[in-house]
Amino acid sequence: MGTAGAHAGTYVSRRSTLLEWLTTTDHKKIGVMYVVTAFTFFMIGGVLALGIRTELAVPGLQMIDEATYNQLFGMHAVMMIFLFVMPMTTGLANYIVPLQLGAADMSFPRINALSFWMLLVGAILIVSAFAFGGAPTGWTLYVPLSVRVQATGVDLLLLGLVVLGFSSIFGAINFLVTIFKMRAPGMGLLRMPMFTWTTLVTAVLLLFSLPVIAAGLIMIFIDRNYGGGFFDPAAGGSPILWQHIFWFFGHPEVYILILPAFGVISEILPVFSRKPLFGYKAFVIATAAIGALGFTVWAHHMFTTGAVFLPFFSFFTFLIAVPTGVKFFNWLATMWGGHLRFDTPMLYSVGFIALFLIGGLDGAFLAVVPFDFMVQDTYWVVSHIHYVLVAGAVFAIFAALFYWFPKMAGRRLSERLGKVQFWILFVGTNLAFFPQHMLGLDGMIRRIPDYSGNAGWTELNFISTIGAFLIAASVLPFLWNVFVTLRKPMEHESDPWDGNSLEWATTSPPAPWNCESLPVIRSERPWFDQKYPGVGHGPTPPTRPETEGASS
């Protein structure tokens, strides 16, 4: 301990063989495989979305029939949620969290590999549903519809989701044990970087919610194939029961998708503002509060069933806006008075704040039960979920990819291409999803393949479709960026952004054992403290060993 951790160039990485990738238990390789798999499904899910938007561009059924359309929106949601955002954030956490903790790997490297390969098995099951009649049930799989649909595809979807569920449960346990047991000496819980904190809370949410949905999916499978009566009113079952099970998982799931995004933003803003995260402890408390409150609001998805106690769920839905608001104010205060540098990760982070705000505000409307009666199951809700998951999760994912790419690949992505991509995505997101508020308010319901030309919805839908194609177009500069950058030689910059946390204290890419030595950890910014001695606040100022030439 005590010597600077930067040993740029001391470890010379070589290309791994295919066999090494297939048999690896290295958290970094597994992380990269997660990220690549997730990005592939992002593009497949995106193509499905283009199918939906193209059909809705103008009134009339031009391109696809009802049956095909009904498969598209469900599969789009399943892929984007379970095969893109979840594996993507899991992959990033896989790569980054052990580095941030100063650990050599996850606690259970082989279970980590198992989680990834189970993800692939689940993904194959889900994709194969297309070949067996598809799953025209929506991702919500509402009973009795999902029990009645005569298509093997639904069974494959159910099995695939159960496999994914177990993959994520194993992953969650792995992260919890890693975070509680593998922290470097000196790294107390309140000195963990925010991305690790949000991964911890996400793992808790996964562990509490996934067993519930796995059980529910198996119940539907039994109802479908063996005549179980769990959800059949004629057999004493209840269709409402499924909605409770689904949303008891489904709402925490939203936070499972978005909390890691909060973590990413909370990593990037301080680095590019050159200030500490404002109100770190409040931020930790707000994260935990969002996680806890996430389990009290599930039935706000069920206001129109007439079967839930409305004021309770309305109140907690309003309440969850408070810790979310705290995060917004803390992010803004982090930027206040800083020296802001707008590299692509920062651009995406500020874009995240600017647009996720809209997803927060239009979500608050939905807590108003009488208003929800109007816009539930309309495009207002579609707009809300996409402002949360595209302007939220996708923006944060691109921020993270640009931010950590130099660590993973040893060279930076092109800033110019990154900025071009950002502005296309920024404009596309707003064109695609903002008009959907008006459509919802006008009574356009979701999951319909067509609408009347008399309804006055044509222009708004057309704009939305243009936006969707812009979003798709924004992926092209990114792919080109990755392709071009990977053909360049490595720069091995260990700390390209002047970072705060331990992943920047080791080589880029890190050696299989991650690091040779660690800085002294006395705050949530140990690497910053080492580079700028006496500037930050560690609770213990004193005998910091002298570092040579680390400060830039």
Partner 1 sequence: MQASGGRGGRLARLALLPAAGLLLAACGVQPNNNPTSDSLGPSLFGETANGIGFPHDVVTTEGIASAGLYLPIFLIAVAIFILIEGLLLFMAWRFRRRDKDTGLPSQVHGHNKLEIIWTAIPALVVTVLFIGSTMVLIDVEATSEDPAVVVDVEGFQFGWTFKYMDPAAYDPVTDKYAETGIVIPFSPALPSAEDPAPVVQEAILPVDVPIRFRLNSLDVIHSFYVPAFFFKRDVIPGRTNEFEITIEQPGVYGGQCAEFCGLSHGRMFFTIRAVEQAEYEAWVAEKSGAAPTTAEAETGEAPEGDTEPGAEDETSEEAA
Q: 354 vs 484, which CB is nearer to partner 1? A: 354
Chain positions 64 to 83 lying near partner 1, rule: CB under 8 A, are: 66-67, 70
Report the Cα 331 to chain-centroid distance in Å. 19
Whether 532 sits among the annotated catalytic residues: the reply is no
How far is residue 285's CA from residue 287's CA, in Å, rounded to a whole number? 5
Whether 415 sits among the annotated catalytic residues: the reply is no
Q: 182 vs 282, which CB is nearer to partner 1? A: 282
- The binder of partner 1 chosen from 169, 350, 397, 520 (CB under 8 A): 350
- The binder of partner 1 chosen from 21, 180, 373, 513 (CB under 8 A): 373
The CB-of-406 to partner 1 minimum distance in angstroms stands at: 19
Spatial neighbors of 19 by CB under 8 A, at least 6 apart, are none
The CB-of-269 to partner 1 minimum distance in angstroms stands at: 11
From 16-24, 93-101, 221-229, 314-322, give the range in contact with partner 1 by CB under 8 A.
314-322
- C-beta of residue 440 within 8 angstroms of C-beta of residue 378: yes
Q: Is 233 an interacting residue with respect to partner 1 (CB under 8 A)?
A: yes
Whether 266 sits among the annotated catalytic residues: the reply is yes
Q: Is 229 an interacting residue with respect to partner 1 (CB under 8 A)?
A: no
Provide the residue count of the chain.
552
Q: How far apart are the first and last CA of the chain?
A: 21
Q: 114 vs 293, which CB is nearer to partner 1? A: 293
- The binder of partner 1 chosen from 19, 339, 483, 487 (CB under 8 A): 339
Residues 101-140 as x/- pattern, contact with partner 1 by CB under 8 A: -----------------------------------xxx-x
Q: 212 vs 448, which CB is nearer to partner 1? A: 448
Chain positions 499 to 538 lying near partner 1, rule: CB under 8 A, are: 532, 535-537
How far is residue 458's CA from residue 56's CA, in Å, rounded to a whole number? 9
From 98-106, 168-176, 213-221, 271-279, give the range in contact with partner 1 by CB under 8 A.
271-279
From 29-37, 102-110, 174-182, 278-286, give the range in contact with partner 1 by CB under 8 A.
278-286
Give the burial class of 259: count Cβ atoms within 10 A of its Cβ; 0-12 exposed, 13-18 middle, 19 or more buried.
Answer: buried
- C-beta of residue 436 within 8 angstroms of C-beta of residue 380: yes
How far is residue 269's CA from residue 262's CA, in Å, rounded to a whole number? 11
Q: 96 vs 520, which CB is nearer to partner 1? A: 520
Q: 7 vs 447, which CB is nearer to partner 1? A: 447
Q: Is 167 an interacting residue with respect to partner 1 (CB under 8 A)?
A: no
Which residues sit opposite 378 in a β-bridge? 445
How far is residue 53's CA from residue 393's CA, in Å, rounded to a whole number? 20
* Catalytic choice (27, 53, 446, 531): 446
Whether 464 sits among the annotated catalytic residues: the reply is no
Residue whose C-alpha is closest to residue 359's, from 446, 434, 425: 434
The CB-of-34 to partner 1 minimum distance in angstroms stands at: 31
Q: 95 vs 528, which CB is nearer to partner 1? A: 528
- C-beta of residue 444 within 8 angstroms of C-beta of residue 387: no
Chain positions 236 to 265 lying near partner 1, rule: CB under 8 A, are: 238-240
How far is residue 304's CA from residue 373's CA, in Å, rounded to a whole number? 6
Q: Is 487 an interacting residue with respect to partner 1 (CB under 8 A)?
A: no
| 196-to-37, 51, 175, 325 alpha-carbon distances in Å | 22, 37, 9, 21
Whether 300 sits among the annotated catalytic residues: the reply is yes
In the block, which residue shows the tokens 């959907």? 436
Residues 419-458 as x/- pattern, contact with partner 1 by CB under 8 A: ------------------xx--xxxxxxxxxxxxxxxx--
Whether 362 sits among the annotated catalytic residues: the reply is no
Chain positions 11 to 30 lying near partner 1, rule: CB under 8 A, are: none
Rama region for 134: left / alpha / beta (φ>0; ψ in -120 to 50; rest): left
From 7-15, 339-347, 478-486, 542-550, give the range in contact with partner 1 by CB under 8 A.
339-347
Whether 139 sits among the annotated catalytic residues: the reply is yes
Q: Is 376 an interacting residue with respect to partner 1 (CB under 8 A)?
A: yes
- The binder of partner 1 chosen from 378, 383, 436, 494 (CB under 8 A): 378
How far is residue 278's CA from residue 265's CA, in Å, rounded to a whole number? 13
How far is residue 277's CA from residue 194's CA, in Å, rounded to a whole number? 9
Three-state DSSP string of 68-89: HHHHHHHHHHHHHHHHHHHHHH
* Catalytic choice (223, 253, 495, 524): 253
How far is residue 161's CA from residue 485's CA, in Å, rounded to a whole number? 35
Q: 303 vs 405, which CB is nearer to partner 1? A: 303
Which residues sit opposite 445 in a β-bridge? 378
Q: 418 vs 510, which CB is nearer to partner 1? A: 418
Structure tokens at 363: 């979500």
* Catalytic choice (28, 183, 251, 522): 251
Secondary structure (3-state) at 378: strand
Q: Is 188 an interacting residue with respect to partner 1 (CB under 8 A)?
A: no
From 106-114, 327-335, 411-419, 465-473, give the range in contact with partner 1 by CB under 8 A.
327-335
Q: Which helix (H) or strand (E) holds 154?
A: helix 152-181
Spatial neighbors of 160 by CB under 8 A, at least 6 apart, are 122, 123, 124, 125, 126, 129
- The binder of partner 1 chosen from 22, 63, 131, 361 (CB under 8 A): 361
Q: Is 304 an interacting residue with respect to partner 1 (CB under 8 A)?
A: yes
# binding residues, partner 1 (CB under 8 A)? 97
Residues annotated catalytic, as ranges: 76, 105, 139, 167-168, 251, 253, 255, 266, 300-301, 324, 327, 446
